[in-house]
């Protein structure tokens, strides 16, 4: 297992290095000069040249990339072109906001998604299964920003129960977290139902019922436990996505998290901030994939044994 972890960590470093290279190239081929955007189109060329030299943007691209990677290894992502604040400070502050929303949304997603998926699978073909699947399809198909707007209109503007923007108090977390939670819960429910149906007809499940075990024990102790592999995969990716910030939802609810920071820095071509955001997102997804792989061995010992055999 230790050998496998070390191997995956080395793969993670290679992936992150590739992300930095691709991101750097793409941001430098996109039309538009960030210095002109920062100073304004009427800035004289002498001032533009001076600022470009101060930021090191007059150096060859390979030199700029090497300096960027060297600084990243010291957790130095530079300073924002517009706010002049250190990028690492901005990322840390915005990540704290996103993390609160992500954790609450994730708990809603897991609790609702797995519960609905199990109920639907157990009642396959019945009216409750069809009703739940219809609701799931609606939430999966509906764009996230549309659901957010509908929630704002109904519970914020019409009923006046909840705030529609910002995170000034605990009530302000309800709309964005429920919006995100139900969106991801729909996907979790669909995966849970499918995975449960694949397992529920297996011989060992019929044997457990034949032994006279309670249906609750059969469903939770045998069926759900052995159906958890795809559910864990989806849940890990969902948490990584939430921790990376959901751009549209954060923008609609005016949440000053990583998603909105990524959108704003993209529009402004604030390269240091945008590079920091993309590298953070890549790190989150790679780390979550590593955690998911390790959880496989905990849930299903057969996977752990096969990995040892391969290693």
Q: Report whether pLDDT(306) > 50.
A: no
Mean pLDDT for 105-118 is: 87
pLDDT digits (tens, 9 = 90+) for 237-267: 777 777 766 777 888 888 888 888 888 888 7
Residue pair 83/246 in contact by the 8 Å Cβ criterion: no
Residue pair 177/104 in contact by the 8 Å Cβ criterion: yes
Mean pLDDT for 204-213 is: 70
Number of H helices and E strands in the chain, helices first, is: 16, 0
In CATH terms, 91-310 corresponds, of 3.10.20.30, 2.170.130.30, 1.10.3720.10, 3.40.50.10440, to: 1.10.3720.10
Token reading at 57: 């943007």
Q: Is 64 exposed, middle or buried (0-12, 13-18, 19+ CB in 10 A)?
A: middle
Q: How far apart are the first and last CA of the chain?
A: 9
Helix 127-141, helix 174-200: angle, nearest 10: 130
Rg of the chain in Å (alpha carbons): 24
Which residues are within 8 A (CB) of 267 and not within 5 positions of it... i.e. 6 or more apart? Answer: none
Q: Report how far residue 38's alpha carbon sits from residue 197's, in angstroms, rounded to the nearest whole number.
A: 56
pLDDT of residue 122: 80
Token reading at 117: 């998926």
Mean pLDDT for 162-178 is: 84
Mean pLDDT for 288-299 is: 68
Share of the chain above pLDDT 90, in %: 0
Q: Report how far residue 241's alpha carbon sits from residue 260's, in angstroms, rounded to the nearest whole number.
A: 14
Query: Regarding predicted confidence, which is higher, 256 or 6?
Result: 256
Q: Report how far residue 26's alpha carbon sits from residue 11's, in angstroms, rounded to the nearest whole number.
A: 23
CA angle 262, 147, 241 (to 5 degrees): 40
Task: Return the domain boundaries, the chain.
Answer: 91-310
Which residues are within 8 A (CB) of 293 and not within 5 positions of it... i.e. 6 or more apart? Answer: 8
Q: Distances in Å between the alpha carbon of 26 and those of 22, 54, 61, 261?
A: 6, 22, 12, 19
Taking the model in full, what pTM does it have? 0.73
Mean pLDDT for 85-90 is: 88
pLDDT of residue 231: 77
Q: Report how far residue 124's alpha carbon sits from residue 109's, in angstroms, rounded to the nearest whole number.
A: 22
pLDDT digits (tens, 9 = 90+) for 214-234: 666 677 666 777 777 777 777
Which residues are within 8 A (CB) of 172 and not within 5 positions of it... i.e. 6 or more apart? Answer: 162, 163, 165, 166
Residue pair 185/112 in contact by the 8 Å Cβ criterion: yes
Q: Report whether pLDDT(193) > 60.
A: yes
Which of the four pLDDT bands, split at 50, 70 and 90, describes residue 139? Answer: confident
């Amino acid at each position: 297992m230790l050998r496998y972890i070390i191997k995956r960590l080395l793969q993670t470093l290679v992936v992150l290095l590739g992300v930095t290279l691709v991101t750097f190239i793409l941001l430098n081929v996109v039309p538009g000069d960030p210095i002109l955007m920062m100073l304004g189109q009427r800035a004289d060329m002498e001032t533009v040249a001076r600022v470009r030299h101060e930021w090191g943007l007059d150096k060859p691209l390979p030199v700029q990339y090497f300096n960027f990677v060297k600084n990243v290894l010291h957790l130095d992502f530079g300073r924002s072109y517009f706010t002049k604040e250190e990028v690492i400070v901005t990322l840390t502050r915005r990540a704290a906001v996103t993390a609160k929303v992500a954790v609450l949304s994730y708990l809603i997603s897991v609790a609702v998604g797995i519960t609905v998926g199990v109920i639907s699978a157990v009642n396959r073909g019945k009216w409750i299964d069809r009703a739940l699947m219809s609701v799931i399809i609606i939430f999966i198909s509906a764009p996230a920003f549309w659901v957010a707007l509908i929630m704002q209109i109904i519970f914020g503007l019409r009923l006046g129960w909840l705030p529609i923007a910002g995170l000034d108090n605990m009530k302000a977390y309800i709309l964005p977290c429920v919006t995100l939670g139900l969106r991801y819960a729909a996907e979790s429910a669909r995966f849970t139902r499918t995975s449960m149906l694949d397992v529920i007809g297996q011989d060992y499940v019929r044997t457990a019922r034949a032994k006279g075990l309670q249906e609750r024990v059969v469903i939770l102790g045998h069926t759900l436990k052995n159906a958890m592999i795809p559910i864990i995969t989806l849940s890990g990716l969902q948490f990584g996505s939430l921790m990376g910030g959901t751009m549209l939802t954060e923008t609609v609810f005016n949440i000053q998290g990583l998603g909105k920071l990524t959108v704003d820095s993209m529009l402004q071509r604030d390269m240091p901030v945008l590079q920091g955001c993309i590298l953070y997102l890549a790190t989150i997804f790679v780390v979550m994939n590593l955690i998911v792989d390790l959880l496989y061995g905990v849930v299903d010992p057969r996977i752990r044994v096969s990995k040892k055999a391969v290693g």
